[in-house]
């Protein structure tokens, strides 16, 4: 060629990415000092944090002037007790412009900034629009130059490399599942985006916030010049959260595997004009939203033809992502150990929440989620009130995981993940008729997916039925 193409990541329409934040939500998290010695001199640009409570990581090697052969990189992993540095094979390349890419991650955007003007909607969530006058498109591709790929834990490079590694790990797990739907979109990473929100409350008062302590997935539809892409956002950490728990969110393998679970469901469940699932299948996060799903006055009944299917899909989307992450972690127990707000409560191997409440969905909890009853009293970080889709994941993740494991004693985690993909296929078929979509019917499809692997599930159903008394159709399906 007579001229070099621009790096792939620079061809992406950043404005398209910005619009995907419009209805996203996040919530608090995590800390630890880095004992790792740095082999290189640390170069930190004089940069002021955009917020007094923001732990803002900066590039350790901002100049990136030399390009060396890279055979391995250092990532950081939370093992349930502490963060440890790990050397792993380098599975990508720095590219002709030293842009870091790998098998399925086609680039990473640094310096993403956007501002949204938001107001409270009837449902209690925020309706947000992008303020183009206050948003920046000065993003640059992530580059790495160090031959051994080693950076200090508290650097933007280590954040990017660690998140990239676990996302690629999730891609590899998906590729190992027999019968998977081919063609899942490649993705980009957006480490440490700066997302500002100016929110006008229902009473006219305002507040400003910056999204922190979270990870999210979004999907960019294909255009005439660009294929469909997945986008994984890794938000910065607040200093308050970092002081409460000794870890970074992106260092927990479960987190990026969870976000990839949303990517998988997005790959299977296609947009249907009769049921608007685009937002819920294209932008999801691992942490609960800062404002709960339902308004204070419980006059909104979600049994309406439009709201009920949407809320059902929200809850199953989060549940599916937790289960995919669990099996991608080989079904190991305690994958969220030590993770503030998530550890026991969102762990698919734990039968109870952090405060000892049994998991499952009885009629009272279903009534809360579907808007017929007020939420439970707030018991603190991570404890379900059952008015949010993350609470549905808390309620159903462990009962479903245990049900699948009990019904398939001879299968490994990959074989059990195949059941999730069968379930995703059935979900896609069900949403074609929105009036048939509910939490109950969606769980019926999961039971059917298990039966395809083992029709003799009566013994496995005993505990599962006890956990889902609020879902009569699924209860009956397991009894057959």
* Residues 119-129: tens digit of each pLDDT: 876 555 567 78
Confidence band for 79, pLDDT divided at 50, 70 and 90: very high
Structure tokens at 419: 């059941």
Q: Is 204 exposed, middle or buried (0-12, 13-18, 19+ CB in 10 A)?
A: exposed
Lowest-confidence pick of 33-37, 64-68, 80-84: 33-37
Q: Tell me if residue 455 falls in helix, strand or coil.
A: coil
pLDDT the model gives residue 23: 43
Q: Tell me if residue 237 falls in helix, strand or coil.
A: strand
**Please, where are the H alpha helices in 220-306?**
239-244, 253-268, 278-282
Q: Which residue has the tokens 């006219």?
A: 204
Residue with the bigger pLDDT between 4 and 272: it is 272
How high does pLDDT run on average in the chain?
A: 82
Q: pLDDT tens-digit profile of 235-261?
A: 998 888 888 887 899 999 999 999 999
- State how far the alpha carbon of 240 is from the alpha carbons of 52, 54, 211, 339, 364, in Å: 10, 9, 14, 15, 35
How many other C-beta atoms are found inside a 10 Å radius of the C-beta of residue 375?
18
d(Cα 210, Cα 100) in Å, to the nearest integer? 27
d(Cα 167, Cα 150) in Å, to the nearest integer? 19
pLDDT the model gives residue 227: 86
d(Cα 251, Cα 153) in Å, to the nearest integer? 10
Task: Report whether pLDDT(98) > 50.
Answer: yes
Give the CA dihedral 258, 260, 261, 266, nearest 10 degrees: 140
d(Cα 469, Cα 188) in Å, to the nearest integer? 41
Structure tokens at 360: 């499952």
Output the pTM of the full model.
0.88
């Amino acid at each position: 060629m007579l001229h070099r193409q621009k790096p792939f990541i620079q061809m992406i329409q950043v404005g398209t990415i910005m619009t995907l934040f419009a209805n996203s939500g996040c919530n608090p998290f995590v800390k630890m000092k880095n004992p790792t010695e740095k082999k290189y001199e640390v170069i930190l640009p004089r940069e002021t944090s955009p917020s007094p409570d923001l732990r803002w990581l900066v590039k350790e090697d901002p100049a990136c002037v030399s390009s060396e052969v890279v055979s391995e990189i250092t990532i950081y992993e939370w093992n349930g007790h502490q963060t440890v540095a790990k050397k792993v094979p380098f599975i990508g390349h720095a590219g002709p412009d030293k842009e870091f890419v790998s098998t399925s991650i086609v680039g990473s955007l640094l310096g993403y900034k956007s501002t949204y003007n938001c107001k409270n909607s009837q449902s209690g969530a925020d309706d947000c629009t992008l303020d183009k006058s206050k948003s920046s498109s000065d993003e640059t591709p992530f580059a790495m130059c160090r031959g051994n790929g080693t950076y200090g834990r508290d650097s933007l490079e280590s954040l990017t490399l660690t998140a990239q590694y676990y996302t690629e790990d999730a891609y590899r797990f998906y590729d190992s599942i027999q019968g998977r739907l081919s063609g899942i979109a490649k993705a980009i990473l957006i480490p440490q985006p700066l997302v500002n929100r100016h929110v006008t409350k229902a009473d006219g008062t305002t507040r400003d916030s910056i999204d922190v302590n979270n990870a999210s997935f979004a999907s960019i539809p294909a255009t005439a010049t660009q294929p469909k892409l997945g986008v994984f956002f890794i938000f910065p950490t607040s200093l308050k959260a970092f002081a409460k728990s000794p870890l970074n969110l992106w260092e927990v393998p479960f987190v990026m595997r969870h976000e990839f679970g949303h990517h998988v469901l997005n790959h299977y469940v296609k947009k249907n004009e009769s049921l608007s699932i685009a937002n819920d299948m294209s932008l999801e996060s691992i942490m609960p939203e800062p404002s709960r799903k339902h308004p204070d006055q419980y006059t909104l009944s979600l049994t309406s033809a439009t709201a009920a299917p949407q809320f059902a899909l929200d809850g199953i989307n989060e549940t599916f992502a937790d289960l995919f992450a669990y099996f991608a972690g080989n079904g190991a127990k305690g994958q969220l150990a030590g993770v503030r707000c998530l550890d026991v409560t969102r762990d698919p191997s734990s039968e109870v929440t952090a405060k000892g409440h049994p998991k499952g969905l009885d009629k009272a909890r279903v009534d809360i989620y579907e808007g017929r009853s007020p939420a439970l009293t707030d018991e603190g970080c991570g404890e379900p009130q059952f008015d949010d889709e993350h609470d549905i994941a808390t309620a159903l993740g462990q009962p479903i995981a245990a049900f699948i494991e009990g019904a398939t004693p001879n299968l490994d985690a990959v074989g059990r993940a195949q059941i999730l993909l069968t379930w995703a296929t059935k979900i896609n078929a069900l949403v074609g008729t929105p009036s048939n979509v509910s939490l109950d019917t969606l769980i019926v499809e999961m039971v059917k997916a298990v039966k395809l692997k083992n029709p003799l599930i009566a013994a496995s159903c005993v505990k599962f039925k006890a956990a889902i008394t609020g879902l009569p159709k699924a209860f009956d399906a397991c009894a057959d």
